[in-house]
Structure 1
């Protein structure tokens, strides 16, 4: 789906990769509904939109609140008249600890934001997308959604669920006007630590690896290119691309590699 003159909803639009997705979509001629839990972060995105801000609407929404999410399509339709695509980008990581040391409050929060937030958004907007001549759903999983990362087991489980949710949805929507993309970012340089409510001195996802982190604006361009080419799977970053190939060939070797990269960062 070409994004020019389309209306696209982006969650997590207040910072990081979500903000860059918003700005890139606006630059390509799309209208954007940016959704985030942080009002001031959304205002920052609006300021950066510059001359394109007339095509931007912002909504402060906690995507784990199903009632608020179900009200969102009506608000977007009231502002833009239609909606052609959603990008479920919002996500948080867990504290960098083993499962035995992770409390249930953190587990619930990670699952609710990453999985149920994506599910609620998809369910709420799908009927409206099906009514369009063409439409697109993009869900952001993670390299950690197909590859085990010590210290991010629950995060990985949530993102693996997003992966299969998206792939199942893609199968269900065969023969319709709605195309579906699942995105697997590797290490992207964002402020996900702070947004996840964690100590910024903790190791970020992928920080200890031998791969360089990708700048969020480049990640956003890769994702939008994938949408415009109607790709079903999009790898973001050399690390995601390489580890996807290695994991397909030898899952045990790939898991050992990530363990050796990351295990030293876990609390003893």
Structure 2
């Protein structure tokens, strides 16, 4: 689905990849409804857009089912139609093993990453089915197919997003609504900060050519929508590890353990 002339919802639109998605969709002629829990971050996105009159911002906690339903109803009431949603918002867990991870942290990760995506799909799908052409894009993660030590719950949430998307695509095969799941590797964003996790960023890792910039990640996510691709692996690290995992999962798991052990988080 091309963005031009379409009404598209983007979650996590206050920063990082979400902000880049908003700006690039606007450039391509879409009307964008940006949702984020952080209203000040959304206002900054609006400012950066030049107060674009085709950008509408909404403070929404996507882990709150009733808030998401109210958001969908408000968008439809105000703008009459939605042609696409991009479920980009997400957080990671602290880099600790499951045995040490508190249940409130586990629930927060699952509520935002998985249930937030599910709530958005459930709230907007009835309206998308009424459109002559519509698209759902869900952002998963390399951690959703490759086990990462210290990120088991995050990985489980993103694996759930991947399978939800694939199952939904099959269910909607005979409709006007297409589904894409985008599976990125590392992206140079503030996801650790936004997840309330203490962190340090090494200059080398943030400048690595294996890591996507938010701008490039957003570009590839939009391309997946345009090409109606069900599954898109983006980033050199993700594509490399996907190939290795398919060839020899044990070797790939040992490699990621070695990489994680060599880096401070």
TM-score, length basis structure 1: 0.94
Once the 2 structures are TM-superposed, how far is the Cα of residue 210 of structure 1 from its aligned partner?
7.2
Once the 2 structures are TM-superposed, how far is the Cα of residue 230 of structure 1 from its aligned partner?
0.4
In 1, Cα distance between the equivalents of 2:239 and 2:209?
Answer: 11
Gaps of at least 5 residues in structure 2 are none
Once the 2 structures are TM-superposed, how far is the Cα of residue 199 of structure 1 from its aligned partner?
1.0
Equivalence for 2:40? 40
| 2:4 is aligned with 1:4 | yes
Provide the alpha-carbon RMSD of the alignment: 1.9
| 2:149 is aligned with 1:156 | no
Match runs of 1:246-265 below 5 Å? 246-265=244-263
Once the 2 structures are TM-superposed, how far is the Cα of residue 209 of structure 1 from its aligned partner?
11
Equivalence for 1:128? 127
For residue 54 of structure 1, give the secondary structure of its aligned residue in structure 2.
coil
**Number of equivalenced pairs:** 264
In 2, Cα distance between the equivalents of 1:45 and 1:136?
Answer: 23
Once the 2 structures are TM-superposed, how far is the Cα of residue 241 of structure 1 from its aligned partner?
1.1
Once the 2 structures are TM-superposed, how far is the Cα of residue 149 of structure 1 from its aligned partner?
0.5
TM-score, length basis structure 2: 0.95
Q: Is the 8 A contact 2:19 2:45 kept in 1?
A: yes
Distance 1:113 1:202, change over 3 A: farther
Distance 1:87 1:188, change over 3 A: same
For residue 41 of structure 1, give the secondary structure of its aligned residue in structure 2.
helix
In 2, Cα distance between the equivalents of 1:57 and 1:200?
Answer: 32
After the TM superposition, list the runs of 4 or more consecutive aligned residues in structure 1 that deviate by more than 4 angstroms: 207-211, 264-267
In 1, Cα distance between the equivalents of 2:13 and 2:206?
Answer: 27
Q: Is the 8 A contact 2:138 2:180 kept in 1?
A: yes
Q: Is the 8 A contact 2:33 2:57 kept in 1?
A: yes
In 2, Cα distance between the equivalents of 1:62 and 1:90?
Answer: 10
For residue 116 of structure 2, give the secondary structure of its aligned residue in structure 1.
helix
Once the 2 structures are TM-superposed, how far is the Cα of residue 78 of structure 1 from its aligned partner?
2.6
Equivalence for 1:119? 118
Equivalence for 1:25? 25
Once the 2 structures are TM-superposed, how far is the Cα of residue 266 of structure 1 from its aligned partner?
7.3
For residue 133 of structure 1, give the secondary structure of its aligned residue in structure 2.
coil
